[in-house]
Structure 1
Amino acid sequence: MRDENTPLLSNNNHIETHSNGDLLAERPNQGSSLKAFANIVCVVAGTGTLGLPYALKLGGWIGVGILIFSLFMALYTSILLMRCLYYNGKYRLTSYPDIGFHAFGRAGSIAVWAFYAPLIIGAPIMYLILSGTELKNLITGVDISARTWIWISTAIVAVPFILMKTLKEVAIMSIFGALATVVLVIVAVRGSIVDHSNPIYSDVSHDFVILPNLPIAIASISFCFSGNIVYVHVEESMRYPKSWNKVVAAALGSCTVLYLATAIPGYFTYGDRALSPILANLPKDIFTNIGTIFIIAHVILAAPILLTTFALEVERRIGITVRLHGEAMERVYRTLFRLFVAGFCGAIACIVPYFGDFLSLLGALGNCTLIYVLPILCYFKLIGWRQMRWYELAWCAFIVVIGILSATIGSIDAIKALKRDFENDSGN
């Protein structure tokens, strides 16, 4: 019999309670904590790392402190989100939308999906656009259009997405994706150090804080910890779920080290002339070309993680499970569905105008809401706030305010960009 609290929108594939009543007991068939760590780093660090020197240019050196504050805020809400998964002690919820349902009913589930789905499917589309564009610019001796390179990238991404069912299998790719990010940071740091003695940048200026631009800087920096869209499935893929807090702390801490390693020398060297991405400032040599190659590698390796997260959500909801169809037919239905998803992403990447700015608008609203606002609201509703001390409540209020501020400022900026797109198009 279905538990009365189980969301009607889910396929009800809850993790069973063990005989000892411990929902966090070892899961023998799942992946290691190292793979979970790599999944988080690969998704969270991403190509946004290269925009951080520009974020410091917007807000000044105070951005370093904002970055560290953002780390603690994102870490705190990720822990609250996991507590919501196990809130009733009977079973583990299966997804972020399920948390929204249990907290606020059908309206909560729909609200989470409204932010969640465009981000989880939109980010891989942006990765395909970025990959196709960079491949076109990098491989100049071949007469292949950017759209063709996008379809080639789509085919490459589709192979692991279709063949590997869960994040446990995809995790091996995330390890290489995380390493690609590290190499990318090394390239950025090396270029910043080389250019520090370049007389072209001898007159750059730095500020401690630029108050008019501070809200935009906060919005830009807070986006760097947008991992909540995959956390539920990353935790589900872990053999030792009790290690979640340590794993997410280590992963986000590592991301922050990479961020600081890129942001500080980049802003120190280029100051008020820092560009986004920072590769545009770096010396035009083989090392910058290597950085471009690793950008392409990273997005191709990260896209299957996000697409698998999306597919797992939808497959549960539409009943593509071994329990309902058997192992052979489940694989057939899953393959067909994932082929459709990959094709859809490739098509959107090729034909939708201004998709990047549309996604920026959705990202501004969705990322900050999913990272900073909803975990706290769901926690208050499911578990309660009365047992929290006053300083915990103050910390939660601060996080929610930052989330709302970042969403508002980021949305205004994205709307302005869309307005410029349409005006330029009508002018032509």
Structure 2
Amino acid sequence: MRPMDKLKPHYGYGVSGDRFWPRPALVKQILIGLERSESLCLFGPRRTGKSSLLRECARLLREDADFTVIEINGEGMDAVASLFNQIVASLPNNNFTGFKARIDQLKMPERMYELIDIWRGKGRAGGEDAKLVTRHWASVAQAITQSIPDMESRPVLFIDELTYLCENLYDNTGRSEEVTRLLAMLREWRGEGMGMVIASSIGIRQYLRKIGVSRNHLTGCNPIHVGPLDPANARMMLAALARQEGLDWWDESIAQAVMDQSTDLLPACLQFAFKYVVAARDDARDDIEGPPFNALTIDAIFKDRIRPNFEHEFFRQFDERFGEYETVEQDAAREMFRCIVRSTRSSRSRSYDDLYDAVEGALGQEKTDAVDLSDLIRALEDDGFLIDRREQDQIAFASRLVEAWWLTRDHRRKRRRD
């Protein structure tokens, strides 16, 4: 997958194809995992590229006749009927036949069988139909489960914003049992061979604990860390954006200044910075008396325009996520963050034992024993605070954005009080 010569600017939504900046290592990791029948999860803050990765991998997998791709966006779903609708509608005829044969053996109201036809594109369901599907949820789910091993093309389910789906389902029914049923169903499908890639920008482990649902239903989903671009790739991306816009004034010095000033080299960071730098250049061109626009002005653009807006969006996410943890967990997490900061600048990571000793030294053994540090680290990883480099036995900040959030947190809180 070669870097693109031109890239259309965008920010704030998932893209694929010629609008997706190539992430070959991540795409390869996901596709190989699916070929090996693994289930994968991508969690972390908004604007890190998870949705675009899902879309791009789904697009590439559709080119392989051995797979049936099903894409779900949980953000707009509030009933399991919508989920079944998307799945049944996406099955090609050779996969649908076995499912239909099993459904026909069940004793369900005639309207349920009419709904199956509607899901295949012959009409539209209404609110009462959603309630009907809810009553026969188990039967439909079981028919899908039993059909998976016999499907000619292996089904792969891409679920974006799974936590939103769980949240909407819980809010719509008021029953945590419905969320348990949903997650248990997905786990059963994975067990029967359905490939699955799950993404969410809301910490799912913390949410499930909040509503009293076991997090064991996520067992078997291997995490994929969506990190920043390397400097060479980031520079090529900025150049592709500039070529797309026909910017003859863009040069290597401006690109380097943007990279130096960016808190991190995530594609969204670069897209956001590029948009504001271009706007500032247009303003400077109209201002005859203004200073010349070059790399020396980038610092002011970041200080006045980019950093206050972009970091506010990300730091607010981190503040909100951190606030969802229990007090003793926040205390333990703070000590882990401090321990990582005390490590050398080059590594910015610590072993699990180092973190445990730091927490115990600050909080005492009783408070430390009240927290399952392994579980807490996994939750902090899902929420985009930490990354567990298991092969190195090292735990680090998940990104430079998190480190910047942590290092400036006290200053920002003091500024808000003032």
TM-score range relative to shorter protein: under 0.3
- Structure possessing the higher relative contact order (Cα contacts under 8 Å, 6 or more residues apart): 1
TM-score by length of 1: 0.24
Please state which structure has a larger fraction of its residues in strand.
2
TM-score by length of 2: 0.24
Q: Which has the larger radius of gyration?
A: 2
